[in-house]
Amino acid sequence: ATAFSPTITSFVQPEPVPSPRDFVLWSFFNSMFCNPFCLGFAALVFSIKARDRKIAQDPAAADSYGRTAKHLNIAAFCLGIVGTITCIMLLVMYYNSLQVGN
> Residues 28-60: pLDDT tens digits?
999 999 899 999 999 999 999 999 999 999 999
Q: What DSSP state is assigned to residue 84?
A: H
> For 54-70, what is each residue's pLDDT tens digit?
999 999 999 999 999 99
Quickly state the pLDDT bin for 19 (edges 50, 70, 90): confident
Domain extents for the chain? 23-53+74-101
Nearest-angstrom CA–CA distance, 80 and 33: 8
- Closest to 48 measured CA to CA, from 56, 13, 12: 56
Rg of the chain over Cα atoms, rounded to whole angstroms, equals 26
- Give the chain's mean pLDDT: 91
* Sign of the CA dihedral running 44, 42, 49, 16: negative
Q: What angle do CA 65, 52, 13 make, to 5 degrees?
A: 85
